[in-house]
């Protein structure tokens, strides 16, 4: 299937969904004015993906800021992936948070608690902005 | 042959010239006779020669030969061998003319002998060629060739190319006649090559000298004319005739040269013409090609120009269109902004007025800064009977959609708290219950079922219920926690990890946190807008940790000053970044006080009255007891019907509140028994609202009135009031 790449513009995160290389990433800031419009192609892609998923799916979520509407969109994404877990596929969420950002960590923990998907919590220290630009 | 012909032509020309000056043969013959008599040999010879030429001119060859021969004799006598030789050649030529080749040969040979004697090689050569020619005419080809071999040697010696060529030409003819085609071809080729060589040589010379030659020719012509006039004067002088002959020879040569030059010139002209034509063709082709290109380019340019013109026109049209649209957009923006500004007035109208807050929270601040005029963040406060309920909420989104949600939130909170206080005592309010109901209302009114893709809007909220009298506080939070700073220490009261709205865990009730407050506790409620602001050096968020640190740093300041410091901190952090969300931070100091603002039930004061509540279920009893507490009525309880009857018999009470369904003895039976000994006491039955049978039965049993469960506090109190007064 065709990979989906959305480059981060202003308030939207970068999204890389590439089945072939097994790269699934969402990173940057997520505060689009209209969350629904931004995330619709992402939902569609993942819905397509779970019909024929890879043996292993690791979704990297590395966000610095996201508004509450984006949280709901992320929950929707994870809810779709949850189906894979229920069907016995290997799925893991790599929840990256800036090491002093306890709010991001607690959001991740909250999501891990309400969803049936394994989470890894990975603190990162610095260079987040640079990282986003380099990609 | 050509040589002979050219010689003849020369002679003819001379005769021509002579002929111009009259027919003097008769005179000359007289003179001849006279000079013969006189013995003037010199003059005789001259006249005889002259007559020879004249007769030649008259085409009287025989006579011509006769006089030439006479002249020969005269000159021989004079010893003028040069003249003899020339005359012999002339006679030879005359005989050739008469096809008398034998005689011709004789005279040529005589001339040859004389030339050989004189040692004049060019003359020898000329004679030999004449002889060879005549021999050929005599069909003595082999002899002719032998003569020619001699001539050739001399011609080569003299490098006389013309003679050489003549020799080869005659020899070739001879061989041809002899049937030796090979030799004939060989000599013909040689003659031809010499001819072409000669032509080349001549061409070279004349190409460069064409003009000079022409000039020379014309000069010579002029000269000739002048010479002609001289000749006119010197007609009688043979020497001059000879001179003239030389001149004529030269003229002849020149004429030939001129002819050749003209040929050459013609060829050159032809070549030039060809070149010119070729050049013209090329130029024409080039012009045609380039004009095609130019035309094409022109056409393209024209096309491009037309396109450019069109697109310019389009741009102009688009520009005006854009300007129109811009005006429309500007108008619309003004309209929308005006509309939002007005909406903002409504939003601020529903927010609690500062005076109201000040009254219950004298030391407080509200840092409220919407991102876009109207806000998704809102704060809400109410005070009921000394109980203050205050909330800081953050609706999904900001701006207009956020504001829509916030209006809903304010309306729902008002409705929920009013209903609760209407139905039960304000002290029985639970903070978490308010959030549970709020969530319920949001889910129901936004028709949220929890499906993917559907609306999941809602809000995060921090809400607390503060009982100032008892220094008790309840806190419930949806995502948003609460901070208390007490004696320099920050306590965090955690919120539940779920929002107000549909969620995986929206069946789980919110947690009710109970905190005993101390004097001067500082309480902070907020949305995440403040500490999620991006900025600083690296574009990071403020983070809640830094927010707490900041609060601890500034908490000793008066609350309005704290607000200022927080704003300062925020603005510094934000710097050039944009505000990402609405901001709301509420801070207040807890000062224990008796709030006397709203003694709602002043109408219901039954200080000296006694009430008996017959109720088996503890909770129901406590609820009623709590509701009646402010009326200061004296409370008594019976746990079943039998108890109630007993209590009535032994105590003076003003009113009985009777539950229908009780163990041991139900309310109806108890009422009947009490009525047996006390007809006047008001007995108010608590019935299940739906059971109309109960109401009938109550009346039959002797109840004064009834109240339906669940109990509405106001109806309940006013019902009691009604019966107490009576």
Residue B367 vs residues A122, B397, B464: alpha-carbon distances, Å: 34, 19, 18
Q: HSE on the CB side for B313, CA within 13 Å?
A: 6
Q: CA nearest B581: which of A11, A67, A21? A: A67
Q: Is the pLDDT of residue B452 over 90?
A: no
Q: Is the pLDDT of residue B18 over 70?
A: no
Average pLDDT, chain B: 83
CA distance B540 to chain A (A): 8
Give the β-pairing of A119-124 and B705-709. Answer: unpaired
Q: What pLDDT does residue B44 have? A: 85
- State pLDDT tens for residues B269-305: 777 778 888 888 888 888 888 888 888 888 888 888 8
Q: What pLDDT does residue A130 have? A: 39
Model confidence at B17, in pLDDT bands (50, 70, 90)? very low
Model confidence at B436, in pLDDT bands (50, 70, 90)? very high
Q: Which residues pair with B382 in a beta bridge?
A: B389
Average pLDDT over residues B70-80: 85
Q: What pLDDT does residue B20 have? A: 47
Q: B459 to chain A: nearest residue by CA?
A: A68
Decide if B504 and A72 are in contact by the 8 Å CB cutoff.
no
Q: Is the pLDDT of residue B598 over 50?
A: no
Average pLDDT over residues B214-228: 70
Average pLDDT over residues B205-225: 69
Query: Contact B641/B618 with Cβ under 8 angstroms?
Result: no
Kindly state the DSSP code that residue A27 receives in the 8-state scheme.
Answer: E
CA distance B105 to B428: 174
Query: Contact B509/B477 with Cβ under 8 angstroms?
Result: no
Q: What pLDDT does residue B589 have? A: 94
- Choose from B233-237, B266-270, B552-556 the range with maximum mean pLDDT: B552-556
The burial class, CB within 10 Å (0-12 / 13-18 / 19+), for B593 is exposed
Mention every residue, 6+ apart, whose C-beta is less than 8 A from residue B657.
B611, B612, B613, B614, B615, B624, B684, B686, B720
Q: What pLDDT does residue B691 have? A: 67
Average pLDDT over residues B70-76: 86
Element (H, E) at A96: strand A90-98
Q: Is the pLDDT of residue B227 over 70?
A: no
Decide if B453 and A31 are in contact by the 8 Å CB cutoff.
no
Phi-psi region of B338 (alpha: psi -120 to 50; beta: other; left: phi over 0): alpha
Average pLDDT over residues A83-95: 92
Chain A residues with CB under 8 Å of B536 CB are none
Query: Contact B659/B615 with Cβ under 8 angstroms?
Result: yes
Q: What pLDDT does residue B103 have? A: 87
Phi and psi for B168 in degrees, rounded to 5?
A: -60, -40
Q: What pLDDT does residue B213 have? A: 61
Chain B residues with CB under 8 Å of A29 CB are 534
Model confidence at B233, in pLDDT bands (50, 70, 90)? low
Q: Does A8 touch chain B (CB under 8 A)?
A: no
Q: Is the pLDDT of residue B2 over 60?
A: no
Model confidence at B214, in pLDDT bands (50, 70, 90)? low
- Choose from B297-301, B451-455, B547-551, B716-720 the range with maximum mean pLDDT: B547-551
CA distance B391 to B378: 8
- Choose from A66-75, A77-86, A125-134 the range with maximum mean pLDDT: A77-86
Q: Is the pLDDT of residue B115 over 50?
A: yes
CA distance B502 to B512: 20
Model confidence at B241, in pLDDT bands (50, 70, 90)? low
Q: Residue holding tokens 């008001």?
A: B682
CA distance B431 to B473: 9
Phi and psi for B267 in degrees, rounded to 5?
A: -60, -45
Q: Does A99 touch chain B (CB under 8 A)?
A: no
Could you tell me how many helices (H) and strands (E) chain A has, helices first? 4, 6
Q: DSSP per residue over B61-120, as a string?
A: HHHHHHHHHHHHHHHHHHT-HHHHHHHHHHHHHHHHHTT-HHHHHHHHHHHHHHHHHHT-
More confident residue, B20 or B55: B55
Q: What pLDDT does residue B117 have? A: 86
Q: Is the pLDDT of residue B229 over 60?
A: yes
Buried b (16+ CB within 10 A) or exposed e, B691-712: eeebbebbeebbbbebbbeebb
- State pLDDT tens for residues B308-341: 888 888 888 888 888 888 888 888 888 888 888 8
Mention every residue, 6+ apart, whose C-beta is less than 8 A from residue B427.
B385, B387, B467, B626, B629
Query: Contact B462/B502 with Cβ under 8 angstroms?
Result: no
CA distance B587 to B550: 13
Average pLDDT over residues B337-365: 88
Q: Is the pLDDT of residue B527 over 70?
A: yes
Give the β-pairing of B387-395 and B377-384. Answer: antiparallel
Query: Contact A99/A67 with Cβ under 8 angstroms?
Result: no
Q: Which of residues 14-33 of A touch B (CB under 8 A)?
A: 29, 31
Q: What pLDDT does residue A80 have? A: 92
- State pLDDT tens for residues B179-205: 888 888 888 888 888 877 777 777 777
Q: Is the pLDDT of residue A129 over 60?
A: no
CA distance A49 to chain B (A): 17
Q: Residue holding tokens 């380039």?
A: B290
Of B460, B505, B538, the CB nearest to A68: B460
Decide if A103 and B543 are in contact by the 8 Å CB cutoff.
yes
CA distance B625 to B634: 10
Average pLDDT over residues A3-23: 86
CA distance B719 to A81: 59
CA distance B288 to chain A (A): 57
Q: Is the pLDDT of residue B234 over 90?
A: no
Q: What pLDDT does residue B243 have? A: 65
Q: CA nearest B247: which of B273, B261, B228, B265? A: B228
The length of chain A in residues reads: 135
More confident residue, B550 or B603: B550
Mention every residue, 6+ apart, whose C-beta is less than 8 A from residue B240.
B230, B231, B234
Q: CA nearest B435: which of B486, B500, B493? A: B500
Q: Does A122 touch chain B (CB under 8 A)?
A: no
Q: What pLDDT does residue A64 have? A: 85
Q: Residue holding tokens 């010879």?
A: B45
- State pLDDT tens for residues B368-400: 999 988 999 999 999 888 889 999 999 987 788
Q: Is the pLDDT of residue B502 over 80?
A: yes
Q: What pLDDT does residue B244 have? A: 65
Decide if B460 and A102 are in contact by the 8 Å CB cutoff.
no
Q: What pLDDT does residue B212 have? A: 66
More confident residue, A124 or B552: B552
Average pLDDT over residues B257-276: 75
User: Using H for helix, E for strand and C for coil, what is the string for B629-681?
Assistant: HHHCCEEEEECCHHHHHHHHHHCCCCEEEEECCCCCCCHHHHHHHHHHHCCCC
CA distance B656 to B615: 11
- State pLDDT tens for residues B454-493: 777 889 999 999 998 889 999 999 999 999 999 999 999 9
Query: In this complex, how many residue pairs, one in chain A and one in chain B, have their CB atoms less than 8 Å apart?
Result: 64
Q: What pLDDT does residue B492 have? A: 94
More confident residue, B438 or B44: B438
Decide if B580 and A67 are in contact by the 8 Å CB cutoff.
yes
Phi and psi for B375 in degrees, rounded to 5?
A: -130, 150
Q: What pLDDT does residue B249 have? A: 75
Q: What is the ipTM of this complex?
A: 0.83
Q: What pLDDT does residue A132 have? A: 38
Q: B577 to chain A: nearest residue by CA?
A: A10
Decide if A67 and B452 are in contact by the 8 Å CB cutoff.
no
| Three-class SS state of B40 | coil
Average pLDDT over residues B232-251: 65
Taking each helix axis from N to C terminus, what angle separates B2-20 and B121-137, rounded to the nearest 10 degrees?
110
Rg of chain B over all Cα atoms, to the nearest angstrom: 77
Query: Contact B578/B373 with Cβ under 8 angstroms?
Result: no
The length of chain B in residues reads: 726
Model confidence at B50, in pLDDT bands (50, 70, 90)? confident
Phi and psi for A31 in degrees, rounded to 5?
A: -145, 50
Mention every residue, 6+ apart, whose C-beta is less than 8 A from residue B148.
B128, B129, B132, B167, B170, B171, B174
- State pLDDT tens for residues B138-170: 888 888 888 888 888 888 888 888 888 888 888
- Choose from B239-253, B630-644, B677-691 the range with maximum mean pLDDT: B630-644
Query: Contact B524/B587 with Cβ under 8 angstroms?
Result: yes
Q: Is the pLDDT of residue B410 over 80?
A: yes
Of A31, A75, A114, the CB nearest to B580: A31
Q: Does A119 touch chain B (CB under 8 A)?
A: no
Chain B residues with CB under 8 Å of A67 CB are 397-398, 580-581
Average pLDDT over residues B201-227: 69
| Three-class SS state of A116 | coil
Of B452, B532, B544, the CB nearest to A79: B452
Percent of chain A with pLDDT over 90: 50
Q: CA nearest B68: which of B30, B27, B111, B122? A: B111
Mention every residue, 6+ apart, whose C-beta is less than 8 A from residue B96.
B4, B104, B133, B134, B137
Q: Which residues pair with A29 in a beta bridge?
A: A65
Q: Give the dihedral sign, CA B372/B374/B376/B378.
A: positive
Model confidence at B700, in pLDDT bands (50, 70, 90)? confident
Chain A residues with CB under 8 Å of B460 CB are 68
Kindly report the number of other CB atoms within 10 A of residue A101's CB atom: 25
Give the β-pairing of B459-467 and B387-395. Answer: antiparallel
pTM score, whole prediction: 0.53
Taking each helix axis from N to C terminus, what angle separates B544-554 and B559-574, rounded to the nearest 10 degrees?
140
Model confidence at B75, in pLDDT bands (50, 70, 90)? confident
Give the β-pairing of A14-18 and A4-6. Answer: antiparallel
């Amino acid at each position: 299937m065709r990979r989906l790449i959305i480059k981060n513009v202003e308030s939207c995160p970068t999204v890389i969904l590439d089945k072939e290389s097994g790269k699934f990433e969402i990173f940057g800031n997520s505060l689009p004015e209209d969350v629904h419009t931004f995330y619709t192609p992402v939902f569609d892609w993942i819905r397509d993906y779970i019909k024929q998923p890879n043996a292993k799916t690791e979704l990297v979520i590395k966000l610095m800021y996201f508004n509450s509407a984006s949280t709901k969109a992320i929950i929707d994404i994870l809810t779709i992936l949850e189906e894979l877990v229920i069907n016995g596929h290997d799925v893991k969420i790599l929840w990256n948070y800036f090491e002093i950002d306890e709010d991001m960590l607690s959001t991740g923990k909250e999501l891990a608690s309400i969803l049936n998907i394994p989470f890894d919590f990975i603190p990162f220290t610095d260079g987040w902005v640079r990282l986003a630009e380099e990609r | 042959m050509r040589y002979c012909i050219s010689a003849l032509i020369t002679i003819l020309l001379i005769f021509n010239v002579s002929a111009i000056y009259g027919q003097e043969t008769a005179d000359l013959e007289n003179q001849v006779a006279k000079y013969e008599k006189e013995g003037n040999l010199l003059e005789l010879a001259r006249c005889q020669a002259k007559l020879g030429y004249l007769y030649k001119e008259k085409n009287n060859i025989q006579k011509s030969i006769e006089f030439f021969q006479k002249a020969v004799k005269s000159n021989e006598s004079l010893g003028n061998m040069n003249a003899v030789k020339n005359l012999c050649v002339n006679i030879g030529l005359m005989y050739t003319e008469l096809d008398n080749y034998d005689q011709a040969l004789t005279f040529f040979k005589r001339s040859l002998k004389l030339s050989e004697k004189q040692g004049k090689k060019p003359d020898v050569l000329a004679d030999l060629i004449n002889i060879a020619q005549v021999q050929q005419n005599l069909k003595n080809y082999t002899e002719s060739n032998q003569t020619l071999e001699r001539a050739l040697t001399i011609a080569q010696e003299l490098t006389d190319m013309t003679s050489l060529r003549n020799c080869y030409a005659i020899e070739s003819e001879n061989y041809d006649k002899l049937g030796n085609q090979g030799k004939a071809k060989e000599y013909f080729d040689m003659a031809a090559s010499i001819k072409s060589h000669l032509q080349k040589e001549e061409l070279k010379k004349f190409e460069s000298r064409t003009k000079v030659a022409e000039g020379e020719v014309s000069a010579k012509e002029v000269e000739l004319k002048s010479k002609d006039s001289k000749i006119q004067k010197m007609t009688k002088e043979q020497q001059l005739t000879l001179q003239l002959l030389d001149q004529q020879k030269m003229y002849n040569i020149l004429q030939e040269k001129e002819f050749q030059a003209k040929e050459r010139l013609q060829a050159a002209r032809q070549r030039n013409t060809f070149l010119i034509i070729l050049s013209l063709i090329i130029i024409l082709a080039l012009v045609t090609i380039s004009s095609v290109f130019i035309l094409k380019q022109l056409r393209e340019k024209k096309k491009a120009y037309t396109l450019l013109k069109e697109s310019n026109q389009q741009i102009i049209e688009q520009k005006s269109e854009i300007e129109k649209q811009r005006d429309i957009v500007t108008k619309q923006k003004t309209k929308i902004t005006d509309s939002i500004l007005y909406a903002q007035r409504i939003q601020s109208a529903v927010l609690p007025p500062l005076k109201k807050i000040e009254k219950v929270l004298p030391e407080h601040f509200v840092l409220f800064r919407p991102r876009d005029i109207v806000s998704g963040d809102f704060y809400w406060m109410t005070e009921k009977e000394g109980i203050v309920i205050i909330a800081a909420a953050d609706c999904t989104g900001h701006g207009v959609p956020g504001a829509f949600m916030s209006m809903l939130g304010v309306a729902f909170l008002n409705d929920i708290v009013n209903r609760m206080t209407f139905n039960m005592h304000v002290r029985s309010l639970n903070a978490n219950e308010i959030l549970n109901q709020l969530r319920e209302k949001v889910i129901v009114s936004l028709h949220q079922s929890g499906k993917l893709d559907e609306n999941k809007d809602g809000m995060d909220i921090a809400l607390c219920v503060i009982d100032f009298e008892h220094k008790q506080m309840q806190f419930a939070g949806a995502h948003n926690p609460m901070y208390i700073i007490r004696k320099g220490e920050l306590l965090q009261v955690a919120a539940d990890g779920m929002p107000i709205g549909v969620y995986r865990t929206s069946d789980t009730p919110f947690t009710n946190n109970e905190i005993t407050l101390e004097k001067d506790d500082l309480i902070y409620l907020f949305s995440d807008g403040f500490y999620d602001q991006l900025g600083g050096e690296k574009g990071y968020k403020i983070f809640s940790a830094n927010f707490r640190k900041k609060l601890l740093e500034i908490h000793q300041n008066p609350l309005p000053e704290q607000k200022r410091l927080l704003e300062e901190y925020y603005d510094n952090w934000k710097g050039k970044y944009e505000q990402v969300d609405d901001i709301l931070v509420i801070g207040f100091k807890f000062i224990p006080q008796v709030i006397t603002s709203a003694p709602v039930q002043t109408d219901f004061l039954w200080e000296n009255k006694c009430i008996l509540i017959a109720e088996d279920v503890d909770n129901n009893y406590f609820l009623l007891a709590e509701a009646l507490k402010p009326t200061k009525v004296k409370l008594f309880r019976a746990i079943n019907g039998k108890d109630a009857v007993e209590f009535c018999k032994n105590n003076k009470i003003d009113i009985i509140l009777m539950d229908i369904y009780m163990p041991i003895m139900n309310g109806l039976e108890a009422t009947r028994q009490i009525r047996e000994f006390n007809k006047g006491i008001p007995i108010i039955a608590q019935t299940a609202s739906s059971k109309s049978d109960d109401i009938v039965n109550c009346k039959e049993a002797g109840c004064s009135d009834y109240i339906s469960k669940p109990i509405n506090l106001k109806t309940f109190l006013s019902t009691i009031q009604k019966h107490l007064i009576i």
